[in-house]
Structure 1
Amino acid sequence: MATPPRRRRPVRSLVTLLVVLVGLFGALLAGNRWSDASMTPALALDLEGGTQIILTPVADGDEEVTDDTIEQTIEIIRQRVDASGVAEAEITSQGGRNIVVALPGRPSPETLELVRESAQMLFRPVLAVSGPTAVPEAQEGADDAAGAEEPAAEEPAGEEPTAEEPAAEEPAAEAPQVEPTDPSDLAWITPELQAEFDAYDCTLPENLTGGSSLVGDPDAAVVACDENGFAKYVLGPVEVRGDDVERAESGLRVSSTGAVTNDWVVNIEFDGEGGRLFREVTTRLSSLESPRDQFAMVLDGLVISAPSVNEPITNGQAEISGTFDRESAGTLARQLSFGALPLTFEVQSEQQVSATLGTEQLQRGILAGAIGLLLVGLYSLVQYRALGLLTIASLVIAGAVAYGVIAVLSWTYGYRLSLAGVAGLIVAIGITADSFIVYFERIKDELRDGRPLAAAVEVGWARARRTILASDAVSFLAAVVLYVLAVGGVRGFAFTLGLTTLVDLLVVFLFTHPVMALLARTRFFSSGHALSGLDPRLLQAKTRYTGRGGVARAGERAGARSGPPEGEVPRRTAVPVGADERRTTIAERRAAERRASSSTSASSHDERKDA
């Protein structure tokens, strides 16, 4: 006995979609009222314009500014800009010499100052290390209790006050200050510095921007964050500077026997003065306990690496090992090499720039999207008649969800919509419509096989779902790869393409299929009306199942019973829903039709012969 199909609850899916939409736009409305959210997505530089700064790196002494130096400078500036919350910034090299920084909109003065500042490489000893978050206060109200006044002592009764002058109060004895003996001495951690360290939060973006505000006094202990926000440090005074580095390079480790291993390392070589200072530092650190045996390399106020010292390094050549791969080792080597060449930035120009494409191009992009929607809608109405209205409604819902997500990302993560992103949204129209077409065609195939509409909707969905998931998975994977490998505006295209692919899945699962299941219950669609797009006669369905083992030929009323002509061998052309039998292919059905036609022609010929 066949198992009946599981009962669906399409209304539940529609309610879930409604909750998503209300959540998106409700958050935007709340943010617009009580925060800095906007009901429209922020636009990128090519659509809104912004501020353009041209910088010229200047090296000290006789050193030259190389391409590697320019590349590393661009990476530092990009890290500063990204950490400050500005998205879709364009940072490029101009003529191999200048650096052009274009920031969309009206960036804050703090962000502009971060762009203008030069980077500094410093080497400091580690005094303490902990997790990145702030430490909660150990006891609330302790300060209030310590500052409370004690009640004054009562004077003895009957005694007259004396005329003596009150004795002068002696100043409270201060705790003796211990002078640090070396940069690794824990005496550098004063109560004030400890309180700052406990309250410092390296998960906040403002503490990861870099710049002079985070560098601190080179002759004092400071608090600093790991560049990725994974840890925070108390660091001693500066002992070695970046200009003491002669060179730094990455490569595979070579053992003492000359064999090349599979471990990636970074090799540093200091100049004469740097080698002498580094020998003194490593001699001291190698005898200390963890974490005071670590030496922090600080670039732009952030710790890029803090390796421990195993033994004194007397020749001025150090090897940094750890969990490096080719990319991470190369990045650290470039950062250290950049520190070997101290740079300052000369601001050649700073000006407001208009949008390179502007409002006119944005309007044309929106017009192109509208034309695409119109053509898809007209095609759906011609091809699927009333069923095409479901395609149009699904596209409208998909557009609303995508708009809400982009607006929320603009508010919360600083995302900005570029013209390339608009192109990604337009391309997504075809991807979304393709999912609906796959589903509708599956339904029509099931109707051609004789299934009633309600069963055709569920069976067609079960088969179309696999195709839709596979197609969207390929599109999403392509968008991810493009986003990772590309730069600039291409990443904006990849982002919106991947986003709308996810939105397509959301709409198909929570709107298109549930609404189709509800439409299948209406008389207009279930009866196969000519304008429904699901008329069995237009679909060239030979027979269709009418219940209780009966079948009806195309064009007959649903209650009509039909069977094979007298004397002809019965041939099954439709099966009840859920019957566990193999379905015939299109080729098999056509072959059966040809055999039936040949049998009919032979019977007519025999009748004429007998006559």
Structure 2
Amino acid sequence: MILLAIVALTGGMFLSGHTTPRLGIDLAGGTSITLTAKSDQVGAINKTNMETAKSIIDRRVNGLGVSEAESQIQGDRNIIVNIPKGTNAAQAEQQVGTTAQLYFRPVLAEVANTPATPASPSGSPSGSPSSPASPSASASTGAKVSGSPSASASTQGRAVTDALKASSTPSAPASGAPSPNPSPSASTAAPGSALDTSIPEELQAKLAALDCSDAKTRANLNLKAKPTDKIVACNQDGTAKYALGPAAVDGKNVSKAAAQFDTQGGNGWVVTLNFDGAGSKAFSKITSQLSQQQPPNNQFAIVLDNEVVSAPSVNQTLSGSAEIYGSFTQESSEELANVLSYGSLPLTFDKSDVTKVSAAVGGEQLHGGLIAGGVGLALVVLYLVAYYRGLSFVAILSLIVSAILTYEIMTLLGPAIGFALNLPAVCGAIVAIGITADSFIVFFERIRDELREGRSLQPAVARGWPRARRTILVSDFVSFLSAAVLFVVSVGKVQGFAFTLGLTTLLDVAVVFLFTKPLMTILARKKFYAGGHPWSGLDPRALGVNPPLRRTRRPAARTDVKEA
């Protein structure tokens, strides 16, 4: 079975066109960008804002499909971003060199993510596409927005002061193209509050052809778009796409956003947001216009870096504050509050240095590491040959199978999940040699113990395996748990070490169960091993095996029959 897996993985490598592992920046080279923070506000360059900026940069780089990229804070105002070779360096520089862009845009159309051929515009120029209407929010005293972090529609919501309702990923029609608004005249319901809900033919074509399931496509949207442009955008999980109008409110006008638990209204976790003077005026104007539209044109999209993170619907004019509520957990409400806070980030960055990183230094370190690994492997092989003799054939062959599987899986993980082999990952693979060899030694010693008790080889293998199996599983579980914890709590290159260690630990279990044990069962039938040849490693005399006791039947004692 393990041989079939090797053949299948080898075929996958050649079919994918990737026959070597993808290398990280320390081995393949790349680009290192140094960003220096600046701000006109006193005290704005602080640890909190720098950490927020770093998280935004990480998000943008990940959106480009870059793996093994690193960003780290250096000193009080510098962020170092290392991007491996193979990434569009110019695009990466453009993405990481600006602060977050948060806008509130009116929704012109909302559809499910079903890429289709461009369709001709329907209806009159002023007609607006729509999605299924969501129930409007009920008015009360304040401003409330309902939201749901799921991909399905959230229909609950009410308003406080004015009415506002939202879902973080609202539902979309089943079709992939927008349908005409059933009530196009609603867009001009009141003098002075007209909202342009028309969709140009070019924008309709873009919306129909857009595929939001591709992360790179989402990252490359609207790179040159201006706030005054109509755009297409995707939600964060790629399940819905939108046609959006010009930005009505700039995210910099959000003065405060926070997550809190609503004890009075019974709405659970909610997100509150407040605007400054200019933002409050713009927010009031746009919600006044949106409240007179039919769904989905009564929605506005909260757009962060060209991705829709929430799309509230409005049925009354709102003042300068709002509250978003719905199916929120504490984590999801805090996440949305952080998103809304990004727009007010008071930092900008200058690219103080952009350097091309050479792989020469990493290559020298890799060369030294491979030499160390080769020496260690040679010592392990010598020990196995000297101590286990013929059994070392099983161990060495199992190590070769494990090495082949590790190489093939690492190669395929490059195009699959963006895994890149760096120096710590190589260290993890070298450490795995000892873990794998330890599993073989446990199995061999269990077999030897059974032989010392006077059993022949085949029964010894059968009885020794269950005992060895438990020990191997416990040992590998501890190693895998350590690797998993290290992967979760670490960042950057250390994660490469943890990932490789965990992967090779799982492969050790597979190799021992599916290759080493079956191979040992087959060899136990061979005369060289079963007969205890001196070079088999199972010589009874070398193991101190006492021949089994021979039981002989004693003659029955003579019984004299006594006569009465």
Is the structural similarity TM-score above 0.5? yes
Flag the 1:129–1:322 CA change in 2: closer, same or farther, 3 A.
Answer: same
Flag the 1:287–1:538 CA change in 2: closer, same or farther, 3 A.
Answer: farther
Q: What CA distance in whole angstroms lies between the structure 1 residues aligned with 2:239 and 2:349?
A: 30
Find 2:441's aligned residue among 430, 437, 443: 437
Q: What CA distance in whole angstroms lies between the structure 1 residues aligned with 2:218 and 2:271?
A: 24
Q: What CA distance in whole angstroms lies between the structure 1 residues aligned with 2:58 and 2:366?
A: 26
Kept in 1, the 8 Å contact 2:253–2:279? The answer is: yes
1:454 to 2:442 alignment: no
Aligned residue in 1 for 2:145: none
Kept in 2, the 8 Å contact 1:240–1:277? The answer is: yes
Aligned pairs for 1:186-205 (under 5 A) are: 187-205=197-215
Aligned residue in 2 for 1:264: 269
- Higher radius of gyration, 1 or 2: 1
Aligned residue in 2 for 1:409: 413
Aligned residue in 1 for 2:470: 466
Find 2:58's aligned residue among 78, 81, 97: 78
Kept in 2, the 8 Å contact 1:128–1:235? The answer is: yes
Task: Give 1:61 deviation, angstroms.
Answer: 7.0
Kept in 2, the 8 Å contact 1:24–1:405? The answer is: yes
Find 1:207's aligned residue among 217, 227, 230: 217
Aligned residue in 1 for 2:245: 236
Aligned pairs for 1:525-604 (under 5 A) are: 525-543=529-547, 552=548, 562-563=550-551
How big is each residue's C-alpha offset from its partner over 1:95-116, in whole Å with a ceiling of 9 and x where there is no partner? 2212211112253233333233
Aligned residue in 1 for 2:73: 93
How big is each residue's C-alpha offset from its partner over 1:390-419, in whole Å with a ceiling of 9 and x where there is no partner? 111111111111111112222443322121
Task: Give 1:537 deviation, angstroms.
Answer: 3.3
How big is each residue's C-alpha offset from its partner over 1:471-519, in whole Å with a ceiling of 9 and x where there is no partner? 3233223222221221012101111011101211221122111211111
Q: What CA distance in whole angstroms lies between the structure 2 residues aligned with 1:339 and 1:303?
A: 14
Unaligned runs of 5+ residues in structure 2 are 129-186, 557-564
Q: What CA distance in whole angstroms lies between the structure 1 residues aligned with 2:432 and 2:225?
A: 49
Task: Give 1:248 deviation, angstroms.
Answer: 1.6
Give the secondary structure class of the aligned counterpart of 1:456.
Answer: helix
Task: Give 1:212 deviation, angstroms.
Answer: 5.0
Aligned residue in 2 for 1:484: 488
Q: What CA distance in whole angstroms lies between the structure 2 residues aligned with 1:251 and 1:184?
A: 35
Q: After superposing the two structures, state which structure 1 stretch, 396-405 or 475-484, moved more.
A: 475-484
Aligned residue in 2 for 1:54: 34
Kept in 2, the 8 Å contact 1:120–1:342? The answer is: no
Flag the 1:538–1:175 CA change in 2: closer, same or farther, 3 A.
Answer: closer
Q: What CA distance in whole angstroms lies between the structure 2 residues aligned with 1:309 and 1:240?
A: 15
Task: Give 1:201 deviation, angstroms.
Answer: 0.7
Q: What CA distance in whole angstroms lies between the structure 2 residues aligned with 1:535 and 1:311?
A: 90
Aligned residue in 1 for 2:301: 296
Give the secondary structure class of the aligned counterpart of 2:326.
Answer: coil
Flag the 1:386–1:504 CA change in 2: closer, same or farther, 3 A.
Answer: same
Aligned residue in 1 for 2:159: none
1:349 to 2:353 alignment: yes
Q: What CA distance in whole angstroms lies between the structure 2 residues aligned with 1:131 and 1:255?
A: 36
Aligned residue in 2 for 1:339: 343
How big is each residue's C-alpha offset from its partner over 1:116-156, in whole Å with a ceiling of 9 and x where there is no partner? 34431101123333333414689xxxx9xxxxxxxxxxxxx
Q: What CA distance in whole angstroms lies between the structure 2 residues aligned with 1:418 and 1:184?
A: 57
Q: What CA distance in whole angstroms lies between the structure 1 residues aligned with 2:252 and 2:236?
A: 21
1:64 to 2:68 alignment: no
Flag the 1:175–1:399 CA change in 2: closer, same or farther, 3 A.
Answer: closer
Q: What CA distance in whole angstroms lies between the structure 1 residues aligned with 2:37 and 2:479?
A: 42
Flag the 1:68–1:332 CA change in 2: closer, same or farther, 3 A.
Answer: farther
Number of residue pairs matched? 492
Kept in 2, the 8 Å contact 1:80–1:210? The answer is: no
Opposite residue 452 of structure 1, the aligned amino acid is S
Kept in 2, the 8 Å contact 1:211–1:300? The answer is: no
Flag the 1:206–1:522 CA change in 2: closer, same or farther, 3 A.
Answer: same
How big is each residue's C-alpha offset from its partner over 1:421-443, in whole Å with a ceiling of 9 and x where there is no partner? 11111111121112212222222
Task: Give 1:291 deviation, angstroms.
Answer: 4.1
Aligned residue in 1 for 2:560: none
Kept in 1, the 8 Å contact 2:287–2:318? The answer is: yes
Flag the 1:332–1:288 CA change in 2: closer, same or farther, 3 A.
Answer: same
Q: After superposing the two structures, state which structure 1 stretch, 179-188 or 96-105, moved more.
A: 179-188
Flag the 1:464–1:175 CA change in 2: closer, same or farther, 3 A.
Answer: closer
Task: Give 1:288 deviation, angstroms.
Answer: 5.2
Q: What CA distance in whole angstroms lies between the structure 1 residues aligned with 2:194 and 2:108?
A: 6
Q: What CA distance in whole angstroms lies between the structure 1 residues aligned with 2:365 and 2:68?
A: 18
Opposite residue 211 of structure 2, the aligned amino acid is D
Kept in 1, the 8 Å contact 2:533–2:539? The answer is: yes
Q: What CA distance in whole angstroms lies between the structure 1 residues aligned with 2:439 and 2:267?
A: 47
Kept in 2, the 8 Å contact 1:210–1:300? The answer is: no
Flag the 1:123–1:529 CA change in 2: closer, same or farther, 3 A.
Answer: same
Aligned residue in 1 for 2:140: none
Q: What CA distance in whole angstroms lies between the structure 1 residues aligned with 2:555 and 2:67?
A: 78
Task: Give 1:23 deviation, angstroms.
Answer: 2.5
Give the secondary structure class of the aligned counterpart of 1:406.
Answer: helix
Q: What CA distance in whole angstroms lies between the structure 2 residues aligned with 1:323 and 1:451?
A: 65
Aligned residue in 1 for 2:11: 26
Flag the 1:425–1:51 CA change in 2: closer, same or farther, 3 A.
Answer: same
Give the secondary structure class of the aligned counterpart of 1:88.
Answer: coil
Opposite residue 415 of structure 1, the aligned amino acid is F
Opposite residue 419 of structure 1, the aligned amino acid is L
Aligned residue in 2 for 1:581: none
Opposite residue 358 of structure 2, the aligned amino acid is S
Aligned residue in 1 for 2:404: 400
Flag the 1:482–1:26 CA change in 2: closer, same or farther, 3 A.
Answer: same
Find 1:177's aligned residue among 125, 129, 137: 125
Task: Give 1:237 deviation, angstroms.
Answer: 2.4
Flag the 1:515–1:92 CA change in 2: closer, same or farther, 3 A.
Answer: same
Find 1:363's aligned residue among 351, 367, 387: 367
Aligned residue in 2 for 1:223: 232
Aligned residue in 1 for 2:526: 522
Q: What CA distance in whole angstroms lies between the structure 2 residues aligned with 1:211 and 1:76?
A: 17
Kept in 1, the 8 Å contact 2:221–2:233? The answer is: no
Find 2:113's aligned residue among 132, 146, 165: 132
Two-structure CA RMSD over aligned residues (Å): 3.1
How big is each residue's C-alpha offset from its partner over 1:563-603, in whole Å with a ceiling of 9 and x where there is no partner? 269699xxxxxxxxxxxxxxxxxxxxxxxxxxxxxxxxxxx
Q: What CA distance in whole angstroms lies between the structure 1 residues aligned with 2:409 and 2:10?
A: 9
Give the secondary structure class of the aligned counterpart of 1:232.
Answer: strand
Aligned residue in 2 for 1:45: 25
Kept in 1, the 8 Å contact 2:222–2:231? The answer is: no
Find 2:380's aligned residue among 376, 382, 392: 376
Unaligned runs of 5+ residues in structure 1 are 1-15, 144-173, 544-551, 554-561, 569-611
Give the secondary structure class of the aligned counterpart of 1:233.
Answer: strand
Aligned residue in 2 for 1:608: none
Aligned residue in 1 for 2:143: none
Q: What CA distance in whole angstroms lies between the structure 2 residues aligned with 1:175 and 1:322?
A: 35
Task: Give 1:459 deviation, angstroms.
Answer: 2.8
Kept in 2, the 8 Å contact 1:118–1:211? The answer is: no
Q: What CA distance in whole angstroms lies between the structure 2 residues aligned with 1:136 and 1:71?
A: 42
Kept in 2, the 8 Å contact 1:126–1:184? The answer is: no
Task: Give 1:343 deviation, angstroms.
Answer: 4.9
Find 2:283's aligned residue among 273, 278, 283: 278
Kept in 2, the 8 Å contact 1:45–1:356? The answer is: no
Kept in 1, the 8 Å contact 2:30–2:85? The answer is: yes
Flag the 1:294–1:441 CA change in 2: closer, same or farther, 3 A.
Answer: farther
